[in-house]
């Protein structure tokens, strides 16, 4: 399911919109009304405007938008009602779904919904009522479920299977990997901490969209700030600051060893923030804090998509500490600028001539 959002509107993907528009044509049906609510929000209308246009309460608008954000298209369906007689069409659907589940290739609920002329949520309910389990090869062991779901989601994002701007729906992820929603929720939170996912309150979570042009511009500014900060810090660095910077490097090394990219990025940002604070110019630290969120969201510091050696990256920071401790402003500025440009692996500390 694709989609993204900004501060004013919910943006849905092409497949979602096509389905919603088809449902919206169902005059007099609850599903049609709910689809029109979501489409109106996607077109930029406020909840108050939607309520007035569709002659419903604002609470109704809020309810179905929240359901859509949480569960996607499935969230727009009615909950199953106890005792409701099953139609001949439903009985036929149950037979087809049971037969499909017994095949070698299990189709998606979306494709079966199209085949049967039913909503995807109805097919999903029948699927669950029949207690059809995912294929054994897709069922994850109970231990460390959130870690396994995290690894799968991260792999799909890095490979491009989940594209930038795509909405991540916990219920769909859980169904796909054969778990409850809790591991999917924890995995999404972890990816959000790394910067690969962006979560918006009451809107949902989306694969982060990165602008190469914005990243280049922010990186250029970072080079200027880092070079200036290193030059000033090298001239006045204090032993306690060097000790703190060494602690940040150790934290990066621990995170690299644990494969915890979020923790690595935290320590990485703390390291560079500390150098800015040590340079003796309070306004530089303010400037750094101004762009820090962009350094994080645009992956300019500790790029979570980095495929190299994270332990080696931590080691490059150790070289930076050594350069500051040397008291040589030019050497420190050279190494920090190269590091900010992403050239740390090709820029080594100069060897001092022996006395």
Q: What is the DSSP-derived secondary structure letter of residue 165?
A: T
Report the pLDDT value the prediction gives residue 7, as an integer from 0 to 100.
41
Find tokens 């001239």 and name the residue.
235
Report the pLDDT value the prediction gives residue 327, as an integer from 0 to 100.
92
* Tens-place pLDDT, residues 264-307: 988 999 999 999 999 999 899 888 888 887 777 777 777 777 77
Find tokens 């001539």 and name the residue.
353
Q: Compute the residue count for the chain.
A: 355
To the nearest 10°, the Cα dihedral for 194, 200, 204, 208?
-40
Report the pLDDT value the prediction gives residue 248, as an integer from 0 to 100.
94
Domain limits, the chain: 3-76, 88-132, 137-207, 213-346
What is the Cα 110 distance to its own chain's centre? Answer: 24
241-250 — which CB contacts under 8 Å span 24+ positions?
241/274, 241/278, 242/321, 242/324, 242/325, 244/274, 245/271, 245/274, 245/275, 245/317, 245/320, 245/321, 245/324, 246/318, 246/321, 248/274, 248/317, 249/314, 249/317, 249/318, 249/321
Concatenating the DSSP letter of every residue in 183-228 gives HHHHHHHHHHHHTSEEEETTTEEEEPP--HHHHHHHHHHHHHHHHH
Look over the chain and give the mean of its residue pLDDT values, rounded to a whole number.
79
| Intra-chain end-to-end CA distance of the chain, in Å | 66
pTM > 0.75: yes or no: no
Concatenating the DSSP letter of every residue in 2-51 gives BEEE-SS-EEE-HHHHHHHHHHHTSTT-HHHHHHHHHHHHHTT--HHHHH
pLDDT along the chain (355 residues), means of 10: 47 78 78 87 86 82 83 72 52 66 55 70 63 46 70 80 86 83 89 85 84 84 94 94 94 90 89 93 89 76 79 91 94 93 63 46
Report the pLDDT value the prediction gives residue 120, as an integer from 0 to 100.
64
Q: Which CATH number applies to 137-207? A: 1.10.10.10
**Residue 193 and residue 173: Cα distance in Å, rounded?**
19
Looking at 2.40.70.10, 1.10.150.130, 1.20.120.530, 3.20.20.70, the CATH number of the domain 213-346 comes to 1.20.120.530
Report the pLDDT value the prediction gives residue 133, as an integer from 0 to 100.
44
**What are the residues whose beta carbons fall under 8 Å from the beta carbon of 151, sequence distance 6 or more?**
none
């Amino acid at each position: 399911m694709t989609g993204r959002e900004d501060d004013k509107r919910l943006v849905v993907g092409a497949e979602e919109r096509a389905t919603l528009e088809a449902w919206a044509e169902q005059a007099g049906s609850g599903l049609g009304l709910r689809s029109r609510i979501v489409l109106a929000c996607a077109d930029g209308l406020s909840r108050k405007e939607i309520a007035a246009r569709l002659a419903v309460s604002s609470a109704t608008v809020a309810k179905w938008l929240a359901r859509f954000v949480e569960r996607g298209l499935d969230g727009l369906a009615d909950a199953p009602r106890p005792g409701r007689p099953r139609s001949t069409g439903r009985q036929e659907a149950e037979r087809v779904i049971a037969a499909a589940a017994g095949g070698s290739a299990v189709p998606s609920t979306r494709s079966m919904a199209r085949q049967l002329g039913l909503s995807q949520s109805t097919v999903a309910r029948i699927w669950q009522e029949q207690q059809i389990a995912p294929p054994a090869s897709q069922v994850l062991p109970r231990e460390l479920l959130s870690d396994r779901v995290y690894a799968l989601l991260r792999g799909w994002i890095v490979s491009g299977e989940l594209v930038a701007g795509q909405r991540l729906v916990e219920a769909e992820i859980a169904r796909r990997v054969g778990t409850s929603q809790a591991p999917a929720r924890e995995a999404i939170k972890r990816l959000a901490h790394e910067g690969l996912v962006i979560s918006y309150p009451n809107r949902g979570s989306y694969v982060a969209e990165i602008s190469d042009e914005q990243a280049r511009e922010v990186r250029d500014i970072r080079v200027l700030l880092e070079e200036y900060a290193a030059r000033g810090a090298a001239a006045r660095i204090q032993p306690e600051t060097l000790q703190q910077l060494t602690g940040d490097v150790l934290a990066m090394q621990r995170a690299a060893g644990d494969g915890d990219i979020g923790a690595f990025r935290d320590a990485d940002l703390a390291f560079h923030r500390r150098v800015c604070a040590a340079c003796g110019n309070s306004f530089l630290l303010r400037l750094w804090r101004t762009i820090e969120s962009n350094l994080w969201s645009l992956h300019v510091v500790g790029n979570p998509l980095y495929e190299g050696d994270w332990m080696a990256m931590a080691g490059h920071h150790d070289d930076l500490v050594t350069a500051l401790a040397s008291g040589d402003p030019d050497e420190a500025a050279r190494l920090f600028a190269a590091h900010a440009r992403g050239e740390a692996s090709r820029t080594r500390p100069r060897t001092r001539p022996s006395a």
